[in-house]
Amino acid sequence: MKTYQKAVTLLLLIVLVLSSYGCKETLNKPEKDMLTLKYKLTEDEELEPFYVSDTKVYAAVNKLEPSSMSAPSFGATTERFIVYDLLAEKEETCYDLGEDDVYIYHAMPFENGIIYAVYTPLGPEASLDERIQWHIKYISDEGSKVLDSGRCSSMFDMLPGFTMLDGEVYYLYEDFDEKTGYGFGINKADLDNPKTVVRETDYSLSETEFYSNGTDWAIHVDGKLLIGNVKGIYREYDLPEKMSDFGICKDYLFCCTTSDGNKWTARSISLETGEEYTAEIGMPLYRICSMSGDELSCISTGFSMYVFRPGEEFEILPVEDTLEIIENREYVRYYPYGETKTLAQLNETKFCRITW
């Protein structure tokens, strides 16, 4: 009898453990706290981070033309990179670039310095269909060097983009080869010999935003989202409607779509099985920040900030009182660090750390 009771008790414990393991907790309420970088900028400069960790902010310092003072990124020239120490509250490292009249759109910490994509500006006599020459460069205390080069169709949204996969830097690029024509690829960055992971000629890149959860990546090509890892592409998703934005987290590819601009659908695609889950939502989602955990962050109409969990039981929560802290709605740019933390930039040096 005692043996039977022990067996029943053990069975109940196993069922309880398995039930607990299979159920995800409700999404925690997002909390926020403010921080300001103690870094002095001139009136015609802006600071634009490109990578954030628990202790450091890596950023480009751009000089703005008077005509573009209210529109960061356009009419700007990147003068230097800085590494800001959040604990010491001061600049740790500065790299003066010496590039002529170029805006650095993508960069990433790499080896003992920073890797970045830069373009060669077209001359005044260039034709409208002339391709833009791009270079992948590396800068450190020892100097700078070119690691790769090619040609792209735009000096802003089609310059090579970077991401981290399995702790290594990879970049997404498009190129126009005289022999093979158009193609795009994903390379693993290397100081001597970049390694090709993907090379495609059947699709055209829609943009070079290169999103990852640290292991898997997602990119946008014509009418599709492609999912892959360091071994290559392993899944394709056909977009059924127009898309406002997309991102990727630990278990899901996510996108927000609409057929008429009024009704919006949250679409969660399982990375493991490809199964899709949908939820009707009353608003578009923009500036989705890809994360390594179960959730993502975003903004919606009016620049309100949210955290949401994709999946079969889609859940979204607002970050309370965010409109009160937003001074310039050109900003609200997200930078992920950790599974449940993101940093939102609110102006040149003012940030909001969001945790949940």
Nearest residue to 262 via CA among 236, 281, 290, 276: 281
CA 338 – CA 179 distance, rounded (Å): 43
DSSP 272: T
How many angstroms separate the Cα of 230 from the Cα of each of 99, 187, 217, 351? 32, 9, 9, 33
Would you give per-residue pLDDT tens digits along the chain (356 residues)?
Answer: 445 444 434 443 433 333 334 445 789 999 999 999 999 999 999 999 999 999 999 999 999 986 544 444 556 899 999 999 999 999 999 999 988 788 998 999 999 999 999 998 766 555 556 789 999 999 999 999 999 999 998 876 799 999 999 999 999 999 998 888 999 999 999 999 999 999 999 999 999 999 999 999 999 999 999 999 999 999 999 999 999 999 999 999 999 999 999 999 999 999 999 999 999 999 999 999 999 999 999 999 888 999 999 999 999 999 988 777 876 656 788 999 889 999 999 988 999 999 99
Query: Does residue 150 fall inside a structural domain?
Result: no
Query: Does residue 332 fall inside a structural domain?
Result: yes
Determine contact, residues 147/137, Cβ cutoff 8 Å: yes
User: What is the pLDDT at residue 7?
Assistant: 45
CA 327 – CA 59 distance, rounded (Å): 20
Determine contact, residues 342/356, Cβ cutoff 8 Å: no
Query: Does residue 274 fall inside a structural domain?
Result: yes
Determine contact, residues 300/281, Cβ cutoff 8 Å: no
Structure tokens at 80: 């230097």
Helix residue spans in the chain (DSSP H):
2-22
Determine contact, residues 97/78, Cβ cutoff 8 Å: yes
Query: Does residue 9 fall inside a structural domain?
Result: no
Query: Does residue 219 fall inside a structural domain?
Result: no
Helix (H, G, I), strand (E, B) or coil at 75: coil
Query: Does residue 92 fall inside a structural domain?
Result: no
Count of structural domains, the chain: 1
CA 234 – CA 5 distance, rounded (Å): 49
Assessment of whether the complete model's pTM goes beyond 0.75: yes
User: What is the pLDDT at residue 166?
Assistant: 98
Query: Does residue 145 fall inside a structural domain?
Result: no
Task: Find residue 268's DSSP bridge partners.
Answer: 254, 277
User: What is the pLDDT at residue 194?
Assistant: 97
Domain hosting 306: range is 240-355
User: What is the pLDDT at residue 121?
Assistant: 74
User: What is the pLDDT at residue 34?
Assistant: 93
Q: How many other CB atoms are found less than 10 A from the CB of residue 135? A: 17
CA 134 – CA 160 distance, rounded (Å): 8
Span 46-61, pLDDT tens digits: 999 999 999 999 999 9
Span 187-210, pLDDT tens digits: 999 999 999 999 999 999 999 999
CA of residue 316 relative to chain centroid, distance: 20
Query: Does residue 143 fall inside a structural domain?
Result: no
